[in-house]
Amino acid sequence: MTRTVAELSARLAAHAVDERRQITGHVPDVPGRGQTLTPVLVLDDHDEQRASGRVSFGRYYLGGNGAVHGGAIPLVFDDLMGRLANTGARKPSRTAYLKVDYRSITPIEQELRVTTWFESEQGRKRLLHGTLHHGDRLCAEAQGLFVELKPGQP
């Protein structure tokens, strides 16, 4: 099995493309943009101040006892907050910090609601807040600072 995967990987390496032409994360009409790292996130509502959607973590994201791995939850916040932080006419920004509070167990294989919104925009600094709910129960919340990149900043 391992040898087969290694052989396939070697054959596919010949077809590798640069970042701009890769498929993962670049398919706008697919939920989650085809980003394979994060669980599929279906956006329901979004404008330039707020975004909300549904997400479900499959078995792949299991931490233990039916709960999502603690490292997977910031992925979802960073993905949705990062997209919101860069919407509209805003110049590109990157996550400077992301603080996550785990308020209760996040179950795998359940539909969850994730919401994020702007708290403030000051100069290059964009402060966003986010919540993750299972039904009415708050599973996690996050605060993220996104800093606008200076010209030429990678």
| Positions that interact with ligand FAQ (CB under 6 A) | 78-79, 82-83, 86, 94-97, 123-125, 145, 147, 149-150, 153
CB of 5 to ligand FAQ, least distance (A): 28
DSSP assigned state of 125: E
For ligand FAQ, the closer CB: 61 or 77: 77
Query: In this complex, which beta carbon is closest to ligand FAQ, that of residue 70 or of residue 92?
Result: 92
What are the distances in angstroms from CA 112 to CA 15, 53, 78, 98, 106?
A: 37, 8, 16, 20, 9
> Between 78 and 141, whose beta carbon lies closer to ligand FAQ?
78
User: Cβ closer to ligand FAQ: 91 or 137?
Assistant: 91
C-beta nearest to ligand FAQ: residue: 82
CB of 122 to ligand FAQ, least distance (A): 7
Tell the smallest beta-carbon distance from residue 86 to ligand FAQ (Å). Answer: 6
Residue 108 to residues 13, 25, 59, 68: CA-CA distances in angstroms? 33, 23, 7, 5
CA torsion sign for 68, 73, 75, 80 is positive
